[in-house]
């Protein structure tokens, strides 16, 4: 990609990672991703905001080939996909100071072995004049590490947000041209990266909302030249309100748990509840994370392997526990051959989810009429819980 102008004197240096399919050895990237650095040229000084993943350092440096002098290298986030090229940049621009906050300093030194004497610390609200453009640093912790901050340029009504509002999307589009496509990618990003920090994000949203900007430039995905839509999406995703939805991840070894899951799906649908069901042996775990953003209830379906849950279910339950979605209710269903402690073990895997267990249905062997009746009762119980909860949108 080539450097492209987003505002007068401000260029996006976008490195598109078309082929990347996994982030942090954990997060599926079906649509690839990008790392956006931004070059801000003032009358007196030039700053480069963020950099790129180490894998694309050469591409970043190619785009900066004609830029002989940079005064400031701003590190909004110490994670390597944005800071990884800093050592090479520090070498190319030997007079440049690395701008970061106190929390980031230790990370940059320990993760990148960046020389400490290159670092200039900034505090929340501090400004850095470049001449006609002022960088204002806004501390926004936990989007997505404790050190993260945004950078606001009041003269250009521009907010650089790094991971905050980002989307994992490989595209040649500089700005958002397809809101539905970016909404889905940004929701996936929120679900996998941001959701554990939902309560802090509410505060960060309020903090940046006080600023007067007409553009958000994240460090992943296209730039928002109509930022209202992503702000509204974040408000929706972080609000206490949940949807009248059930997320049902399950695995089945010999068909019994699948039969139970499918009966329950139909029973829930009869109750007017939307179900997002995932066979964990084939599902994209990112889709499961997206479904967890809005749902009120999680139902886990598992067969019994020896006496515990299937390993795929174990993984999904642990992941849901890490992601800390809004979920208010939970249930466990499944089958076993001779004995099972799957329910107790799954319950022990989700301590972070402050959920009320609406019911459990565990059946030996193939489900029968009595089991189907229990599943019908479970669906009715979930519907009743949703209807009685002011935060579940059942209308
Ligand atoms: Fe895009 Fe938290 O790094």
Domain coverage including residue 288: 246-386
Helical pair 179-189 and 228-238, crossing angle rounded to 10 deg: 40
Domain with 352 in it: what CATH number? 3.40.50.360
In the listed set 181, 208, 238, which residue is the last one of a domain according to the structure? Answer: 238
Residue of 103, 173, 108, 175 whose CA lies nearest to 142 = 103
Q: Quick check: 118 and 139 in contact, CB under 8 A?
A: no
Our answer on whether the CB atom of 144 is closer than 6 Å to any ligand 1 atom is: yes
**Residue 83 sits in a domain of what CATH number?**
3.60.15.10
Measure the CA–CA gap between 250 and 245, rounded to whole angstroms: 16
Residue 156 DSSP code:
G
Q: What is the DSSP string of 83-104?
A: HTTHHHHHHHSTTPEEEE-HHH
List Cβ neighbours of 331 (8 Å cut-off, separation of 6 or more): 297, 298, 299, 300, 357, 358, 359, 360, 361, 378, 382
Contacts of 313 (CB under 8 A, 6+ apart): 249, 250, 251, 280, 300, 301, 302, 346
254 shares a domain with 208: no
The answer to whether residues 143 and 251 belong to one domain is no
**Structure tokens belonging to residue 73:** 């290298």
User: How far apart are the CA of 29 and the centre of ligand 1, in A?
Assistant: 13
Structure letter (DSSP) for residue 152: E
Whether residue 259 is found in the same domain as residue 223: no
What per-residue confidence (pLDDT) applies to 19?
Answer: 95
Domain endpoint, select from 188, 211, 238: 238
Ligand 1, atom 1, residue with closest C-alpha: 163
* 231 and 265 co-located in one domain: no
- d(CA 50, CA 78) in angstroms, rounded, equals 9
The CB of 79 under 6 Å from ligand 1? The reply is yes
The position carrying tokens 């179900």 is 275
Q: Is the CB of 163 under 6 A from ligand 1?
A: yes
Residue 311 lies in a domain: yes
Is the beta carbon of 81 within 6 A of some atom in ligand 1? yes
168 lines ligand 1 (CB under 6 A): no
Residue 204: the pLDDT is 98
Number of domains in the chain: 2
Q: Are residues 259 and 153 in the same domain?
A: no
253 and 214 within one domain: no
| Confidence (pLDDT) at 97 | 98
Least Cα distance to 216 among 394, 12, 2 occurs for 12
Give the ligand 1 atom nearest the CA of 193: 2
pLDDT digits (tens, 9 = 90+) for 189-210: 999 999 999 999 999 999 999 9
Q: Are residues 12 and 52 in the same domain?
A: yes
297 and 166 in one domain?
no
The pLDDT of residue 395:
78
Respond yes or no on whether the N-terminal peptide bond of residue 144 is cis (omega within 30° of 0).
yes
Angle at 2 between CA 52 and CA 190, to 5 degrees: 45
Question: For residues 167-189, b (16+ Cβ closer than 10 Å) or e, as one string?
Answer: bbbbbeebebeeeebbeebbbbb
Q: Is 97 in the pocket of ligand 1 (CB under 6 A)?
A: no
User: What's the pLDDT score for residue 60?
Assistant: 97
Beta bridge partners of 158: 153, 215
pLDDT the model gives residue 270: 98
Asked if residue 327 and residue 222 are part of one domain, the reply reads no
Does a structural domain hold residue 296? Answer: yes
* Nearest-atom index, ligand 1, CA of 80: 3
In this structure, the answer to whether residues 322 and 182 fall within a common structural domain is no
Ligand 1 in reach of 82 Cβ (< 6 A): yes
Please give the Cα distance from 270 to 264 (Å, whole number). 10
Task: Show pLDDT as tens, one digit a residue, over the chain (395 residues).
Answer: 899 999 999 999 999 999 999 998 888 999 999 999 999 999 999 999 999 999 999 999 999 999 999 999 999 999 999 999 999 999 999 999 999 999 999 999 999 999 999 999 999 999 999 999 999 999 999 998 999 999 999 999 999 999 999 999 999 999 999 999 999 999 999 999 999 999 999 999 999 999 999 999 999 999 999 999 999 999 999 999 999 999 999 999 999 999 999 999 999 999 999 999 999 999 989 999 999 999 999 999 999 999 999 999 999 999 999 999 999 999 999 999 999 999 999 999 999 999 999 999 999 999 999 999 999 999 999 999 999 999 999 97
Do 205 and 270 belong together in one domain? no
Domain final position from 188, 206, 238 = 238
């Amino acid at each position: 990609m080539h450097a492209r102008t987003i505002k007068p004197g401000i260029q996006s240096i976008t490195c598109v990672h078309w082929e990347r399919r996994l982030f942090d050895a954990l997060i599926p990237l079906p649509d690839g991703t990008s790392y956006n650095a931004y070059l801000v040229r003032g009358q007196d000084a030039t700053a480069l905001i963020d950099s790129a993943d180490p894998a694309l350092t050469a591409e970043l440096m190619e785009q900066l080939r004609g830029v002989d002098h940079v005064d400031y290298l701003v590190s909004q986030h110490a994670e390597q996909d944005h800071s990884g090229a800093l050592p090479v940049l520090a070498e190319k621009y030997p007079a440049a100071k690395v701008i970061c906050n106190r929390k980031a300093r230790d990370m940059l030194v320990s993760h990148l072995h960046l020389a400490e004497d290159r670092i200039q610390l900034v505090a929340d609200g501090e400004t850095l004049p470049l001449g006609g453009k002022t960088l204002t640093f806004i501390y926004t912790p936990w989007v997505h590490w404790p050190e993260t901050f945004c950078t606001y340029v009041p003269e250009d009504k521009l907010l650089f947000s790094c991971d905050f509002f980002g989307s994992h999307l490989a595209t040649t589009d500089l700005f958002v041209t397809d809101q539905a496509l970016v909404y889905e990618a940004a929701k996936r990003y929120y679900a996998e990266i941001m959701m554990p920090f939902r309560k802090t994000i509410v505060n960060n949203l309020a903090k940046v909302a006080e600023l007067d900007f007409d553009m958000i430039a994240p460090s992943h995905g296209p730039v928002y030249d109509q930022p209202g839509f992503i702000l509204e999406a974040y408000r929706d995703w972080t609000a206490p309100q949940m949807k009248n939805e059930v997320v049902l991840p399950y695995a089945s070894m010999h068909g019994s748990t699948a039969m139970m899951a499918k009966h329950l799906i139909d029973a829930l649908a009869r109750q007017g509840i939307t179900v997002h069901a995932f066979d964990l042996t084939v599902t994209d775990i990112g889709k499961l994370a997206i479904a967890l953003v809005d749902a009120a209830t999680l139902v886990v379906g598992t067969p019994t392997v020896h006496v515990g849950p299937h390993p795929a279910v174990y993984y999904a339950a642990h992941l849901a526990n890490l992601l800390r979605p809004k979920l208010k209710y939970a249930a466990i269903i499944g089958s076993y051959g001779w004995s099972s402690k799957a329910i107790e073990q799954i319950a022990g895997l989700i301590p972070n989810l402050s959920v009320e267990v609406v019911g459990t249905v565990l059946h030996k062997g193939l489900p029968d009429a009595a089991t189907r009746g229990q599943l019908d009762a479970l669906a009715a119980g979930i519907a009743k819980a949703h209807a009685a909860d002011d935060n579940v949108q059942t209308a």
